[in-house]
Amino acid sequence: MRVAVNARFLLAGRLEGIGRFSHETLSRLVKAKPDWEFIFIFDRPYDKQFIYGPNVIPVVIGPQARHPLLFWWWFEISLPKVFKKYKADIFFSPDGYLSLKSNIPQIPVFHDLAFEHYPEGVSKANLWHYKYFFPRYARKASQILAVSQATKDDIQKLYHIPDDKIKVINNAASDIFKKLDANQISETRKKYTNSNPYFLYVGAIHPRKNLVNLLLAFDYYHKQNYNSNYKLVIAGRKAWKNKLIEELYHTLDCKEHIIFTGRLDDSELANIAASAIALCYLSLFEGFGIPIIEAMQCGVPVVTSNISSMPEVAGGAALLANPLSPTEICKCMQQISSDENLRFELIQKGFENVKRYSWDVAVMKIIEALENRNS
C-alpha cells in the first residue's frame, strides 16, 4: 500500500503538540509496516531525521502552508498532484487537514475544535478558514481519529458525524520524560531557579492556556506565604495575543518569582518537567493535554482544569480546579506545597494513569484505520 502523509509539522527543534504526535506515531508506523510505501509530503526543506526508513519517499511541495490562502493552495492544488504522481492509495493527515479536491480515501487526526469554543483565540482569517473547512473535512473523511473522547464528542455534537466513523486514539508521553534522581533535580533547579522549588507551566503563552488566572493564583499564593521561596516557571514560546499576560505580569507583587524560559529543546523540557514540585496546567480548553501525562510519567504531581478533556486525561490522578478561579487554583498549589503525603499519593496515581497511554497502541489504531479505509 502507498500511504501519502501530511508531514508539514515535522520541524526540527520545534516539535510541539501536533508535531510531537506526528513524530511519535509516524516513526513507529514506518517501522511497523516495512512493506508499505510512505510518501512524506513537506511544505519546506525537511530534516533527514524524519525520514524514518527506506520505505519513506520525501516530497517537498509549495507553497509553505502557514496562512489560510496558502493552506487552500497546498491542500487543494498541490497535494492532489502528488497523490496522482505517486499513485497514493490513501492520505493520512496528522493535523486534521484534508484535500477536498481529491477522491482517494483520507483519514485525519482531529486534535481539538478549540476555535469553535474560543474563536477570539485565532485571527479572523484563520477562524473563517477553520469554520468553513473543518466541517467539510469531517464529512469528507473515510474515518476520523480523535485524540480523546472529549474531542470525539465535540465532533459528533458540532458536525453531526456518526459515532462509528470516529475512533479515539490517545496521545502518550515520550520516553524522554522520566523520573530524575535527587542530584539531577538539584542541578536543574540550580540552573533555572537558583535551587528553589517551583511550580511549572508547559505550553504556548496564549490566552486559551489561561496564564492570566495562573499568574493571579500564584500571586495569591505568595501573599498567603510571605516568605515562600517557591517559583513559577513558564516554559513555552510566545504565541498570539499575549499582551494582556505581559501587562498583568508587570503589575504582580510576585513577579520576581516568575521565570520565563522560552522554548526549550526536548531534553531540557524533560529535565525541567521532572524537577518541578507540580505541573499547573489550567487551560480553558484542550483536545488532550500532553503535558499532563508527561509530568505524571516524570513522577510529578499535577494540578489541571476540571473542564474539557483534562479530567479524562488525568484519570483521577490529579488535583482538579476551576480554571476561572484563581483562588481555587491557589488552594491546590497550597495543598501540594504543604502536604507531602498528598504529593506521594498523586505521584503513585500518576504512574498508574500513564499506563493507559502508549504510542505503540496509537499506531496499531492508525494501522487499523488505514487498512479499513473503505469500510
Boundaries of every domain in the chain: 2-172+358-371, 182-356
Q: pLDDT tens digits for 30-68?
A: 999 999 999 999 999 999 999 999 999 999 999 998 889
Could you check whether 2-172+358-371 and 182-356 share the same CATH topology?
A: yes
pLDDT digit string (tens) for 135-155? Answer: 999 999 999 999 999 999 999
Rounded to whole angstroms, how far apart are CA atoms 304 and 324? 12
**Cβ proximity of 301 and 274 under 8 Å:** no
Mean pLDDT of the chain: 94
User: In the numeric block, which cell numbers belong to residue 43?
Assistant: 511544505
Tell me which residue of 56, 50, 53 sits closest to 10, measured CA to CA.
Answer: 50
Q: Is the pLDDT of residue 238 over 60?
A: yes
Beta bridge mates, 147: none
- Reported as a single tens digit per residue, the pLDDT across 297-350 is 999 999 999 999 999 999 999 999 999 999 999 999 999 999 999 999 999 999
Q: 14: pLDDT confidence band, cut at 50, 70 and 90?
A: confident
Return the C-alpha cell found at 262.
522560552
Amino acid at 364: M
The string of pLDDT tens digits covering residues 170-188 is 999 999 999 999 999 999 9
Element (H, E) at 4: strand 2-6
**Cβ neighbours of 221 (radius 10 Å):** 23
Sheet of 258-260, strand order: 258-260, 231-235, 198-202, 278-281, 302-305, 319-321
Residues 6+ apart with CB under 8 A from 257: 218, 222, 230, 231, 232
Q: What is the pLDDT confidence band of residue 239, given thresholds at 50, 70 and 90?
A: low
Q: What is the pLDDT of residue 241?
A: 60
Encode pLDDT of 99-135 as tens digits: 999 999 999 999 999 999 999 888 899 999 999 999 9
Architecture in CATH for domain 182-356: 3-Layer(aba) Sandwich (3.40)
What pLDDT, in 10s, does the model give residues 259-268? Answer: 999 889 889 9
Q: State yes or no: pLDDT of 237 exceeds 90.
A: no
Q: Residue 235 to residues 84, 239, 263, 291: CA-CA distances in angstroms?
A: 43, 12, 6, 11
In terms of Cα–Cα distance, which of 364, 372, 369 is closest to 31? 364
Q: What is the pLDDT of residue 225?
A: 85
Q: How confident is the model at residue 240 (pLDDT cuts 50, 70, 90)?
A: low
The CATH number of the structural domain formed by 2-172+358-371 is 3.40.50.2000
Q: Quote the pLDDT of residue 330.
A: 97
